């Protein structure tokens, strides 16, 4: 389903993110968790794309499996790094032929195994360039939907790690939207004030597309430290750190604190008419299901009635 149709039917979307498994054991665990989350009837799910396209085939395989064997609507990530125009064209053509309705277009991280990677060799220097290319692909009528792919892009409530000038950052985001993006999905954050300020600044900049809030519950102290490194800028509020510190010697207590914090974030976001909530699941289902059920949401229709349309 095209993302604009999803937003038209869901007053507030709920979605989940997965990453492609690399081993048979990981794959078995992931598909078991997907089966649990499928019962929640998410608006869509997304599938990540490794640094430098390192999980290109794995991403494609997972997207097709979700498309063919579940009721889920998968949105594959696609990045600029290490790709030529021809390669991107081939990827888009395969997804179009499979009936995949949407793409999340990202700048992407350079390959981890190549130091001082030269981005000048990439066909697309910025996510806005990739968005424009996908829009051009759409206009050629290759996709079975006359509108072509719906296109999502990333937003950064706490600021993009490589763009310290916050005015330039909003200009870059506006360029992605002007190039043809249909919605924005944000990086994870732990203080809703950062999201509300970001949403207001987007409005002042003339950005009118739906903005989906990215949420990731802390489930372990080790995981929190790894995510702080990967997110390159995620800010952990002192109140959250204090609560996690009290629970530090009890892994289950740490998880309860993280789930409670994320639940309160989601409750507040729903009360403030968020257009969508996107859970970074880390390929697990327990924390996400606990949060979902704590919000009193039994299925997607309940959520659609719970929040007035903006």
Residues annotated catalytic, as ranges: 17
Tokens at residue 135, please?
């829009």
234 contact partners, CB below 8 Å, separation of at least 6: 158, 187, 188, 189, 190, 227, 228
Number of H helices, E strands in the chain: 12, 8
Say if CB 105 and CB 152 are below 8 A apart: yes
Tokens at residue 152, please?
């999502």
Mapped onto helix, strand or coil, the DSSP state of residue 184 is strand
Burial (CB count within 10 angstroms: exposed 0-12, middle 13-18, buried 19+), residue 119: middle
Residue matched to tokens 């639940």: 263
Cα 177 to Cα 194: distance, rounded to the nearest angstrom: 21
Say if CB 214 and CB 280 are below 8 A apart: yes
Cα 288 to Cα 275: distance, rounded to the nearest angstrom: 18
Phi, psi angles (nearest 5°) of residue 272: -110, 30
Cα 278 to Cα 280: distance, rounded to the nearest angstrom: 7
What is the secondary structure of 218-259 as a DSSP string? ---HHHHHHHHHHHTS----HHHHHHHHHTTT-HHHHHHHHH
C-alpha closest to that of 278 among 219, 191, 215? 215
């Amino acid at each position: 389903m095209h993302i604009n149709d999803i937003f038209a039917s869901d007053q507030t979307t709920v979605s989940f993110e997965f990453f492609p498994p690399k081993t048979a054991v990981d794959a078995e665990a992931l598909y078991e968790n997907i089966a649990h989350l499928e019962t929640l009837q998410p608006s869509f799910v997304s599938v990540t794309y490794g640094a430098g396209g390192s999980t290109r085939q794995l991403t494609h395989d997972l997207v097709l499996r979700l498309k063919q064997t579940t009721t889920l609507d998968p949105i594959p990530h696609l990045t600029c790094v290490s790709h030529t125009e021809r390669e991107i064209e081939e990827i888009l053509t395969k997804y179009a032929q499979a009936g995949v309705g949407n793409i999340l277009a990202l700048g992407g991280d350079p390959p981890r195994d190549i130091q001082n990677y030269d981005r000048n060799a990439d066909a697309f220097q910025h996510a806005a360039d990739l968005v424009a290319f996908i829009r051009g692909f759409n206009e050629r009528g290759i996709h079975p939907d006359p509108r072509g792919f719906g296109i999502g892009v990333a937003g950064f409530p706490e600021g993009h790690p490589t763009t310290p000038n916050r005015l330039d950052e909003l200009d870059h985001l506006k360029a992605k939207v002007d190039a043809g993006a249909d919605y924005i999905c944000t990086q994870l954050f732990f203080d809703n004030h950062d999201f509300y300020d970001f949403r207001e600044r987007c409005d002042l900049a003339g950005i009118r597309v739906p903005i989906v809030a990215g949420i990731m519950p802390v489930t372990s102290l080790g995981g929190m430290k790894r995510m702080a490194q990967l997110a390159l800028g995620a800010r952990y509020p002192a109140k959250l750190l204090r609560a996690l510190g009290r629970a530090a010697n009890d892994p289950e207590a740490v998880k309860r604190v993280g789930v409670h914090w994320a639940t309160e974030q989601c409750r507040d976001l729903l009360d403030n008419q968020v257009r969508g909530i996107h859970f970074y699941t880390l390929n697990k289902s327990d924390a996400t299901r606990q949060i979902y059920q704590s919000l009193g949401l039994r299925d997607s229709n309940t959520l659609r009635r719970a929040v007035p349309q903006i």
